[in-house]
Structure 1
Amino acid sequence: MMIGQLAASTGLSVRTLRFYADAGVLPAQGRTTSGYRLFGPDAVARARLIRTLRELGVGLDDIRRVLGAEASLTEVAAEHVRALDAQIRVLRLQRAVLRAFIGSTDPEELRRMTDLTNLTAAQRRQIVDDYLDAVFGDSPSVVADKLAMGAPELPDDPTPDQVAAWVEIAKLLRDPDFVATSRRMAERARAEGPEPDVAQFEVGKAVGELASPAARAGVDPASPDALAIVERLEALGPTPSEDRTCIADRIEAFTDRRVGRYWTLVGIINGWTPNQAPDDIIDTWEWYARALRAHP
């Protein structure tokens, strides 16, 4: 059949059929004496398959492989699905970045968001690992293990809040001052020896139950009410081996709002539902430290 007949049978334009023929995916079987292309009986099915694959976004090179029996249609379809999945992930990230940027007027912020979200999952994880190496080195640490296990995992289809949280985390983990503060905390934890016993964990739980309401209510740490809370907490644990000022020093050494902020951001990215806001926890321990200092 001639190209006009093929066009009528397939619904494709003559120009499109010529393009397929020139690209080598729809070869003619010969030409008329006038030089017009002639197509064989399989050309209709072949042209319809090409049209379908093109509508699905499959490139001419892959179509040529299928029609040349270099690859099966299933193999090419699977490859194309993987490529589409990758494109979809990129588009979702781009959409989330743009939504997160709406309301900002700083072009540098948009560039930073784009750069950080375009990293692969392995590259994003490397930012966390670099921080852990800088803080803990090769020394074994329960805290390092907790940070590694709870590392943020940006999903394939993040929300604008998750994108913003990831950008803030990356900035925090690369902040030399935060790294230095974290290293001092880790060194002090190693110097103080083994993990506290079960009684100490019970005291920590009680601090939340007793000191938290006082902190929220604005109770003066120097007041008799605050002293009563301190004494109740001391009665729950072993006999203190150091004075209250030393205990307050330790609490303050391990209390940093940026650490609390880090876990808030990780929770946003990983979709955790916090039992208590980190800032509330820090408020409680800061209040308790002030109460200890006020009643040495």
Structure 2
Amino acid sequence: MTADRSWSIGELAALAGVTVKTVRFYSDLGLLPEASRSAGGHRRYGPEALDRLRMIRSLRALDLPVPEVRRVLDREDGLDGALEDAVVRQLGEVGSQLAALRWREAALQLLTECTPAQRAERLRLVGAVPTPPSTAVIARFWRRWLPARLPAEVVSLVVERSVPPIPDDPTPGQVLAFARLHAMTQGECRDADRGQPAAHRTDRGFRPAVLYHGLDEAYALAAPHVRAGRAPEAGEALDCFVAAYALAGGSRDTADFRRRLGPVLASDPRIDRYWSLVAELAGPAHTTPGAAHAWLLSALHAPPAA
């Protein structure tokens, strides 16, 4: 083959193993360079076009869209870097598609395994969840539930700790738990038992940012005790828990403060149903903030050790 060799559109299609229509399509998009035109105005293609056409076929075989193919071919920093970027993006797309398929499979199993009496309700719940599922509704619930004018980093911390990750390969039970969680938070939690705790409101003199930072540390200290099934007890975790409320309210951690704190927290609105669903979704290896809070609250009421 010589460098000045050129082919007609039919010859190029035959050499590349594609149809004439395919060559014309990519040529019209500007992806295939023409070497020249014949006397009759017909396109002629050289070796560069054949190489590019084979590359286009390979990229399209990976299901890369045409705009992505163009980016790879037009990048000036070398094919390797451009191709790597395209493959990484395509892997992300494939991952999302697989996640959606695994979710749909588990959802179908859920509807297959339930009784006829349960099917209509579960179909309604699962049908309201986008595919692939998203935690955007749950995150929005927490941002609206939190006190106003909280620093952005505190809001991010609470959302990160409170919004459960979606399992990569969910079971039917996890699909149901997430669907119920999605429905619960999508309802804006207007019910009385889902309100904001009174002790967290700024109009009572609390500094919520200080409180949430302290609670995050206390929950982390309590989590190993919860996972181990230990009875609620006094200790570092409880001291950190009480100190968070004391510091947020400008008080000191005293015996009298603990006696007054107990009834205040016990009368707070609870979202136990939320944390129960999160626990079903996350599995036993994960301790939810709700479980840690319940353990610490019980420890606050527990009689002192002899």
TM interval, shorter chain, is 0.5 to 0.7
Alignment of 1:96-245 (within 5 A): 96-102=102-108, 103-104=110-111, 105-106=119-120, 107-114=123-130, 117-118=133-134, 124-132=138-146, 136-137=147-148, 147-148=158-159, 150-155=161-166, 157=168, 159-160=170-171, 161-173=173-185, 174-177=188-191, 180-184=194-198, 186=200, 208=232
Residue 112 of structure 1 and its aligned partner are, at CA, apart by: 1.8
Residue 37 of structure 1 and its aligned partner are, at CA, apart by: 3.5
Residue 2 of structure 1 and its aligned partner are, at CA, apart by: 3.0
The 1:50/1:137 distance shift into structure 2, 3 A limit, reads closer
Alignment partner, residue 29 of structure 1? 36
SS at match of 2:100: helix
CA contact (8 A) 2:35 2:44 kept: yes
Alignment of 1:248-287 (within 5 A): 253=267, 256=270, 258-259=271-272, 261-262=274-275, 265-266=278-279, 268-269=281-282, 272-274=285-287
Residue 97 of structure 1 and its aligned partner are, at CA, apart by: 3.9
2:63 to 57, 60, 64: 57
Residue 208 of structure 1 and its aligned partner are, at CA, apart by: 4.5
CA contact (8 A) 1:92 1:156 kept: no
Alignment partner, residue 13 of structure 1? 19
- Structure 2: gaps spanning 5 or more residues: 1-6, 112-118, 212-224, 234-253
Give the whole-Å Cα distance in 2 for the aligned partners of 1:139 and 1:90: 33
- Structure 1: gaps spanning 5 or more residues: 196-203, 210-237, 290-296
CA contact (8 A) 1:21 1:28 kept: no
Tell me the alpha carbon deviations over residues 246-294 of structure 1, each in whole angstroms, 9 at most, x when there is no partner: 99966853595x426515515733873459x95xx79x96xx99xxxxx
Specify the code of the residue in structure 2 equivalent to 1:169.
Answer: L
Give the whole-Å Cα distance in 1 for the aligned partners of 2:62 and 2:47: 25
Among the aligned pairs, what percent are the same residue? 19
Q: Once superposed, what is the RMSD of the aligned Cα atoms?
A: 5.4
Alignment partner, residue 224 of structure 1? none
The 1:95/1:176 distance shift into structure 2, 3 A limit, reads same
The 1:272/1:176 distance shift into structure 2, 3 A limit, reads farther
Give the whole-Å Cα distance in 2 for the aligned partners of 1:47 and 1:165: 49
Give the alignment's TM-score, normalised by structure 2: 0.54
Residue 163 of structure 1 and its aligned partner are, at CA, apart by: 4.6
CA contact (8 A) 1:50 1:63 kept: yes
The 1:163/1:88 distance shift into structure 2, 3 A limit, reads farther
CA contact (8 A) 1:96 1:163 kept: no
Specify the code of the residue in structure 2 equivalent to 1:55.
Answer: A
Residue 154 of structure 1 and its aligned partner are, at CA, apart by: 2.2
Residue 128 of structure 1 and its aligned partner are, at CA, apart by: 1.7
Residue 126 of structure 1 and its aligned partner are, at CA, apart by: 3.0
CA contact (8 A) 1:66 1:73 kept: yes
Alignment partner, residue 235 of structure 1? none
The 1:179/1:249 distance shift into structure 2, 3 A limit, reads closer
SS at match of 1:113: coil
Give the whole-Å Cα distance in 1 for the aligned partners of 2:59 and 2:129: 36
Give the whole-Å Cα distance in 1 for the aligned partners of 2:25 and 2:19: 10
Residue 40 of structure 1 and its aligned partner are, at CA, apart by: 1.6
2:47 to 41, 44, 51: 41
Q: Rg bigger for which structure?
A: 1
The 1:126/1:42 distance shift into structure 2, 3 A limit, reads same
Residue 14 of structure 1 and its aligned partner are, at CA, apart by: 3.4
Residue 191 of structure 1 and its aligned partner are, at CA, apart by: 9.2
Q: How many positions carry a matched residue from both structures?
A: 245
The 1:181/1:126 distance shift into structure 2, 3 A limit, reads closer
Alignment partner, residue 216 of structure 2? none
